[in-house]
Amino acid sequence: MPATNILIRRRTTWLLGATLVILFLLTCRLAYVQFFQGEKLRSQAIDIRMRDIPVEAKRGTIFDRNGRELVTSVSADSIYAIPAQVKDQDGTAARLAPILKMDRADIAKLLKTRASSVYIKRRVDFQTAERVKRERLPGIGLVEESRREYGKESLAAHILGFVGVDNQGLTGIEKTFDSELRGIPGRIAVERDAAGRELPLAERKYFPPVQGHNLVLTIDETIQYFVERELDKIVDTFHPASAVIIVMDPQTGEILGMGNRPTYDPNQWRNYPQQVWDRNPAIWYNYEPGSTFKIITLASALEEKAVSEKDRFYDPGYIKVADRNIHCWKGGGHGSQSLSEVVQNSCNPGFVTIGLNIGIPNFYKYLRAFGFGQFTNLGLPGEAKGILIPEKKATNLNLATMSIGQSVAVTPIQLVTGVSAAVNGGRLMQPYLVKSVTDNQGRVIKSFKPREVRRVVSDQTSRQLREYLENVVLKGTGVNAYIEGYRVGGKTGTAQVVGPSGGYVRGRYVSSFVGFAPADDPRLVTLVMVSEPQGGVYFGSQVAAPYFRSVMQDALRYLGVPEQKGLPKPERVWPYVEPRELAEVTVPQVVNLPVDEAVKDLRAEGLNFLLRGQGDVVYGQVPQAGARVTEGTTVVLDLKPAPTGKAKGDVTMPDLSGMTIKQAGTLLESLELRMEPVGSGIAWRQSVPPGKKVERGTAVRVEFRPPASENGP
């Protein structure tokens, strides 16, 4: 019995000890959870029972340089749902669909998701929000957000850009300065049970959003209106593929106005093709500048002393470089000229001589110094940096053509920046669009000041250059840019368009004028660039210079630049053809014709063309022959034969002897046969003899030769 008691006591002691150890361990664990993990677990518990409803921050306002609102944000309600609280998803969807003008199935799908909250529709109008409120649907609520409003519609659209559904900047300044504009979002936190139902006396917390900062641009709204007005006139008159006008302060690099056509309304950006709002031609479009680039050539030569006023030039109508003749735009040439006359007349042989005097190493030194082949870092997304032939691969022929603005591609912003440096005293200024970032009280958070990138030429060179360019307006090709009461300098430019596969496209031009005023102390530099004007008028002096004059005259007067009395007037009037109203014409039949014949026929009717594919013969056209279109319409010429497998059935081969290329091509096309012409003149031999049955779609080789009377005995 005593042994049994001892055993019981031992067991009791072990059990008590084990219990105490377990209690000790539990106490330690409780203390660890309470004191070391307590905050973390408390936070997790709150997260589990709290539901967050995001509250979007109001995006900052964008002002012009004078404090006028260009873009602002207005309040708008968004409809959201807490799916766990929606008991009848299909019924709720049926009641919301007609109000929100959404598909019932799409709403039901959103309501059946397992998310704690989901947006049904963002930023609805006031009437729609009120109708949703009156429905009093369980689990459906409204939260205030902001909607971006571009009050000036398409004004400066490519500069401003637009935002996406979550108020994030997608293009333009809205994208570049998105972090400054968008602010910090807030939220509403509501305590709910495991089923997602709001608890009685539930805890509610409101974390207010922080509004974004504002931007003050360098753009002047009034000058921007001048730019947009003239762009609309250009479009109405010339129907171009695109057009750009840029107005810059050459002393600071500030952009006072910049516009493009085609354009769009940022409020309705989804209604426009992507290529319209995704590309800003002012900073993206690479083109050969033509004679406007001669400003850079002349500035470089004057600085290097590679040319002087005493030099004489002789222009017989062309200059030979390597194995190529570079022609002057004036038939027969300008004869003997001084340097000033070479500039006034925009003489190609004269400028080629000047470029060759500079030499390849020095010319490239100035190209880089003026900023060509480099980004200007204006502050907009999508900027291109132009195209330069690598210096090591450049030849004297390349140097000659670059001297007159060929074999080099620039963007409009590069050209206006480079010209500004040439005429402002020789300083390359960083172009910029934003003056400052401010808070809601107007306090400046960050400011942007004019920044000189480098000195390119001396003040003396710049002064000489301005005098030469002023004479271009008074005595040369730029007389249509003359402004009464102001000294104006500038340069015209007319360049052919380079095709996608290289080479120039016949009949397509880029017309431009870049100039400055007052010539003795430039306040403004303005570029007008018109790509592929229609209607038969394409010289820069005719297409661009008059619109330069309108923008500059209004801008100078608006800025209060005083007019001067007794200034000299142009000595002559440059031929200016007032564009006529475009007529309606009939599209000719050009299928089966050689490309050069087809182009000749289209040009005779005042039509443009676009080549699709590669080859020497036209196999298809859009619009079709006989269609009535407006002069200047582009006819797409398909140079790739259609698959022969589509053509079925046989036709009888006609006798083509004595027919012209056009007559033979028209006849064969009507029989669904393809012609492969050789030579020119009249048909005298064909690969398929007359009378033979051939399958539709067969290619027939037809040889042409001049009539005997033209070819001699």
Query: Which residues are the active-site residues?
Result: 291
Q: Residue 156: left (phi > 0), alpha (psi -120 to 50), or beta?
A: left
Assign residue 169 a region: left if phi > 0, alpha if psi is -120 to 50, beta otherwise? beta
Structure token digits, residue 345: 């007349």
Alpha helices, DSSP H, located in 32-88:
38-49
Give yes or no for a cis peptide into 713 (omega within 30° of 0): no
Q: What distance in Å separates the CA atoms of residue 252 and residue 244, rounded to the nearest whole number? A: 21
8 Å CB contact between 161 and 171:
yes
Residue 272: is it exposed, middle or buried by C-beta count within 10 angstroms (0-12/13-18/19+)?
middle
Tokens 């400054």, residue located: 180
Alpha-carbon distance of 409 to 286, in angstroms, equals: 5
> Tokens 């031929």 correspond to what residue?
575
SS3 288: coil
SS3 content of the chain, % helix, strand, coil (to 5): 35, 25, 35
Give the C-alpha separation, 361 to 352, whole Å: 16
Largest Cα–Cα separation, the chain: 154
On whether the CB atoms of residues 286 and 387 are closer than 8 A, the answer is yes
Query: What is the distance between the alpha carbons of residues 418 and 36, in angstroms, rounded to a whole number?
Result: 66
Q: Are 99 and 248 in contact (CB under 8 A)?
A: no
Provide the 10 A C-beta neighbour count for residue 399: 21
Exposure b/e, 276-308, CB count within 10 A at least 16 = b: bbebbbbbbbbbbbbbbbbbbbbbbbbbbebbe
292 and 491 Cβ atoms separated by less than 8 Å: yes
